[in-house]
Amino acid sequence: MSSKYFKGTATAMLLLSTVAITPVLAAETPVAATGDFSLTVLHTNDTHANLKTTAERAALVKKLKEDHPYNVLLDAGDVFSGTLYFNEFLGKADLAVMNYLGYDAMTFGNHEFDLGLSSEGHKALADFIKGAKFPFVSSNVDFTADGLFDGLQSRTIEADAKDGNIYNGIIKEINGEKVGIFGLTTEETVAIASPEKIVFTNYIVEAKAAVAAFEKAGVNKIIALTHIGYDDSDKIDNDLLLAKNVPGIDIIVGGHTHVKLDEPVVLNKDTEPVVIVQANEYNKFLGQLDVTFDEKGVIKDYSGVLHAVGGENAATDAAAAELLKPFTAKVDATTEKQIGATADVFLSGLRDMSEDSKALIGGVRAGESNLGNLITDGMLKKSKEIDPETVIAFQNGGGIRTSIQQGPITYGQVLTVLPFGNPLAIIELSGSELKETFEHAVKEYPKESGGFLHVSGMQVIFDGEAEAGKRIISLNIDGQEIEANKMYKAATNVFTARGGDGFEALGKAYEEGRVSEPGFSDWENLADHLKSVGTLNTGIEGRILAKVPYTDLAYNSKSYKYVSDLYYRGVVNGTDATFAPQKEMTRAQAASWIVRSLDLKADGTAPFSDISDYAADTQAEIAAAYENGLVKGVDGKFNPSENVTRAQFALMLERAFTAYTGEAYKASTAAPYSDFGNYDAEAVNAISMLHELGIASGSDGKFMPTRSTSREQAAKIVSNFIYNIKQVKKAE
């Protein structure tokens, strides 16, 4: 952009900076270019050690660099944490790839600071920086207080940047033109990672100072390489606010929010444009931004695209594939080693399950899950060995990164579930502090939140429709309600104990010295606990319950957790005071519940002659069930008021599975029930599906297919069906 902004403001901006920026160049008067200048920016962000497509990524980078010789290759942070490539090599594998690809600069993401609480602190990050064949840009992160980074950071804008060093910004000369690049990292890192002695300063102040320093050095084409999020919280920082509040920036290459910007977002399009790009996550895409600057440094033309990395017939780079081989060999060996435990059921670490703000059972950011229960059970068990007075444990849902499939469990699976190596902490809290903590945990419900807490040793009951901050109904430990002034010892991870995810009560306790840190990595605790259990076959247990308005359901009812799930998803409604759990379901009700659970719609009406007396909504739901193949009817009738049998319910659900996935479910074997009688193959397969997926079970070797289905039985079946359906791919 035009350097006219510098006049009268540069000195003020420099003084505003909390850490002074000292340009190493003498002040220059910007020299106008003789014509237009075109630049290609290749960019990645939030790769999180996903290196399986390295050979394809390398081939793509080489091709684009060859086609566009005036280019820069930039990374917007969060290379650390996410797969076994990181757990095994702590960034060395990623660095080898980045060095090979010839990156020009990188800024730091919040996950680069995950290891601050480990026994070696940020040594892995310091080694990563030292080994880089490119510089790092970071204008609002100060490493001064951490001795591991001595000699690595210069608080300058540098035209002669050295590899393996950190600068506020760098100046690259490309085809005779000066391009400035500076970096920013979200201040939220303090709450969501473990930076320890590393200090984060205000992004707006530092960005203004960096722009002023560039302009003083004669640079009028400026790139902000950021890890603050495209549209993250306005209360902290984001790229949109950066563009609006800091004149002089031309391009923002972003990360942190994992946004897939298929096309660049442009602000101030008609004056001095600011172009924002971000390339999603996990090395799925390589971003390409082509810009043309006029002679004053103002963008006059731009285009952007995200290139998919890998896929069928993708070109590969043989040297890159060879480079990765030794890393992959060790990762594969660790991945395949069994820990000595077997999952007979799916252990759910599912996330991103919210639809229309309705929470789905099994999602670790909005509900109890069997995997969350196992993690906290292992945490509590280990803590009691250290301090027998520990009575509960809790784990943040955001720290549970994936699920474990049925079968023998490997170390690779456990490490992928808990990839951050978060050590154990034991914290002493009052009852009132516990209540404040769990109010914070459920304040977003039913929306997903990384701060949603899974528990062991305690039952949590809350009202998901009450005002945030006034939702907790009961916190029960060993059958007793907690007392506000009584002190309790709780196990958690150090990240949460220090107030991560915004837990202010926990952060206060940490500051007051009420936290001990005995060590023991979270994934090691989980592996040890799973091994001690051996065979894992439990579902959710009602440890966390969201209140429903029905007077005929007790909290200790076996069906409460399933009814609660369906209530908050809108499958059952709250217009009646009672749920009538023992009442038998009709065919119309069964069809309606399944249709609502999958949000199925009808284009027309159902051809049944016996549904006209039903409400319009019910008729539409029956029509949706018919159009999606869930029901067929007999002789032009649906018989909506008839009780639905267990076999009929199974058939509806099997057909719903087909409607959702586009593929018919084929049970691996017939369920071991002795009472199939004369039921046809479709019915046997449907019942076997319910058995195989753990959706419904029989008793004493019988399924009782002709028996009617009660409403509480139906709630369990439909809730379990949704829990399973979210594990498979939805048909496009």
pLDDT for 298-329, tens place per residue? 999 999 999 999 999 999 999 999 999 999 99
Alpha carbon 274 to its chain centroid, in Å, reads 28
Amino acid at 200: F
Cβ burial 302-335 (10 Å sphere, 16+ → b, else e) = bebebbebbeeeeebbeebeebbeebbeebeeeb
Cα separations in angstroms, 339 against 84, 342, 498 = 16, 9, 30
More confident residue, 282 or 214: 214
Q: State both tokens at 474.
A: 């009961």
Give the DSSP per-residue string, 289-309: EEEEE-TTS-EEEEEEEEEEP
What's CA 437's distance to the chain center, in Å? 21
Give the pLDDT score at 224. Answer: 98
Q: State how far the Cα of 567 lies from the Cα of 596, in Å rounded to an integer.
A: 11
Token digits of residue 103: 């990156």
How high is the pLDDT of residue 270? 87
Q: Determine what percent of the chain is predicted with pLDDT higher than 70.
A: 93
- The alpha carbon torsion through 559, 561, 562, 566 (nearest 10 deg) reads 130
Residue 483: both structure tokens together: 């007392």
pLDDT for the residue 441: 97
Do 80 and 125 contact (CB within 8 A), yes or no? yes
Q: Tokens for 16, please give them.
A: 């505003």
* Residue of 356 and 472 predicted with greater confidence: 472
Cis peptide before 446 (omega within 30 of 0): yes
Least confident interval from 369-373, 388-392, 417-421, 645-649: 417-421
For residue 204, what pLDDT is reported?
Answer: 98
Please count the CA atoms within 13 angstroms of the CA of 384 that sit on its side-chain side.
Answer: 11
Q: Please tell me the distance from the alpha carbon of residue 726 to that of residue 707, in angstroms, as a whole number.
A: 28
Question: Alpha-carbon distance 560 to 540, whole Å?
Answer: 11
Taking the CA atoms of the chain, what radius of gyration do you get in angstroms? Answer: 29
User: What pLDDT score does 121 carry?
Assistant: 95
Q: Is residue 453 pLDDT above 90, yes or no? A: yes
CA distance 680 to 577: 40
First to last CA, the chain: 44
Phi and psi torsions of 539, nearest 5°:
-105, -150
Q: DSSP 3-state assignment of 281? A: coil
Distance CA 283, CA 180 (A): 25
pLDDT confidence of 233, banded at 50, 70, 90? confident
Q: Where are the alpha helices (DSSP H) in 457-503?
A: 494-497
Q: What is the pLDDT of residue 334?
A: 87
Specify the amino acid at residue 230: Y
Asked whether 401 and 414 are in contact (CB, 8 A), the reply is no
Identify the band that residue 574 occupies on the pLDDT scale cut at 50, 70 and 90: low
Angstrom CA distances, 89 to 27, 82, 297, 336, 712, stand at 44, 12, 42, 17, 50
Strand ranges, E, within 594-730: none
Whether residue 729 has pLDDT greater than 80: no
Predicted TM-score (pTM) of this structure: 0.66
Buried b (16+ CB within 10 A) or exposed e, 112-148: bbbbbbbeebbebbbbbbeebebbbbbbbbbbeebeb
Q: How far is it, in rounded angstroms, from Cα 645 to Cα 266? A: 58
**Could you tell me the pLDDT band of residue 96, with boundaries at 50, 70 and 90?**
very high
**Spatial separation of the C-alpha atoms in residues 298 and 502, rounded to whole Å:** 41
Instruction: Say whether pLDDT at 272 is over 70.
Output: yes
Mean pLDDT over residues 491-501, rounded? 93
- Tens of pLDDT, residue by residue over 322-349, are 999 999 999 999 889 999 999 988 898 8
Q: Are 379 and 393 in contact (CB under 8 A)?
A: yes
Q: Strand 136-137 vs strand 166-174: parallel, antiparallel, or unpaired? A: parallel
DSSP three-state, residue 24: coil
Task: Give the mean model confidence (pLDDT) for residues 677-695.
Answer: 92
Q: Among candidates 198, 211, 121, 194, which has minimal Cα distance to 166?
A: 198
Q: Per-residue pLDDT tens for 9-42?
A: 333 333 333 333 333 343 333 333 458 999 999 9
Angstrom distance (rounded) from CA 576 to CA 552: 11
Task: State the number of CA atoms in the 13 A half-sphere of 185 facing the CB.
Answer: 31
Residue 558 buriedness (CB in 10 A; 0-12 / 13-18 / 19+): exposed
CA atoms of 504 and 451, how far apart (whole Å): 12
Q: What are phi and psi of 220, to 5 degrees?
A: -125, 15
Rounded distance, CA 653 to CA 644, Å?
12
Amino acid identity, position 372: G
